Amino acid sequence: MTETHPVRFPAPADGGLTPEMLAAFARDGYLVLRGYVDPAACDALRARAEALVEEFDPAEAKTVFSTRTRAHSADDYFKGSGDKIRLFFEEEAIDADGNITVEKSRAINKIGHAMHDLDPGFEAFSHNMKLARTAADLGFADPLLLQSMYIFKQPEIGGEVLCHQDGTFLLTEPESVIGLWFALEDATVENGCLYALRGEHRGPLRRRYRNRDGELVVENLDNAPWDEAARVPLEAAKGDLVLLHGRLPHFSGPNRSPRSRHAYTLHVIDGACRYLDDNWLVRGPDMPLRGFA
């Protein structure tokens, strides 16, 4: 399979998107903005994530996050994480008896899902006028920050993320979710960069991951195959921002390299749309969604 590399646009200082950028996003379903975040801000976010790992007591929970088994779907620790800061383990970091097989700093798969509102460092990074300008240019009438994830993609044991559409997990009517994926380290083919199926966002939503009577389930909506020939590696340098359309199929392979691939992701929805009641991610009434400002 021939793989081409996407155009990487230099990020405007104010976060504004040019007509050429918007046309590329509409055509491809993704947009790579080079140097959107200062390297020092990347380092600060990494330091804060590492501090959260250091503070974490594994006795609290040893929930493994895996898109392959989805065992986390049955775990209350995961189900209740929409308005919390919770840590999830790599599948290969826990043995059959529940013991951690590597040092804790190398065992965590991700942190989620409300750091952008609950942690001062992540809050300052996430709520700013530059991102507000980007969201406005993408067409959001009332952009709201719904979900945040810090993804470690650990060296040698970093788990794969199967091909999916973000709208599967965070659905509004009409559909509005867009992913903002920040490379906090260089993301390459060798250490598990994102891949996208270029242009496949113009197809239908294939699945729903939703709450059905207290259980998180996956429902098939359309069994048509995706065009695997459209696969594009979204390699990104430290500080780059990758925008992902809510229907864009994307994935990443396992990281078997000796280098980690830290990234921070925000998912944004439009407050002008209805967030479906059966979405898996919910918040308590005391923590309403906020915009970028």
Domain residue extents for the chain = 8-275
Sign of CA dihedral 195, 237, 267, 68: positive
pLDDT of residue 125: 98
CA distance 144 to 140: 9
Q: Which residues pair with 179 in a beta bridge?
A: 244, 267
The third-level CATH classification (topology) of the domain covering 8-275 is: Jelly Rolls (2.60.120)
The tokens of 41 are what? 């801000």
For residue 1, the model assigns a pLDDT of: 44
Per-residue pLDDT tens listing for the chain (293 residues): 445 667 899 999 999 999 999 999 999 999 999 999 999 999 999 999 999 999 999 988 889 888 777 777 868 999 999 999 999 999 999 998 889 999 999 999 999 999 999 999 999 999 999 999 999 999 999 999 999 999 999 999 999 999 999 999 999 999 999 999 999 999 999 999 999 999 999 999 999 999 999 999 999 999 999 998 999 999 999 999 999 999 999 999 999 999 999 999 999 999 999 999 999 999 999 999 999 98
pLDDT number for residue 67: 78
Is 33:240 a contact under the CB 8 Å cutoff?
yes
Distances (CA, A) of 128 to 131, 135, 145, 176: 6, 11, 11, 20
Task: Determine the pLDDT at residue 4.
Answer: 63
The pLDDT of residue 3: 57
Instruction: State pTM to two decimals.
Output: 0.96
Residue 209: CB atoms within 10 Å = 20
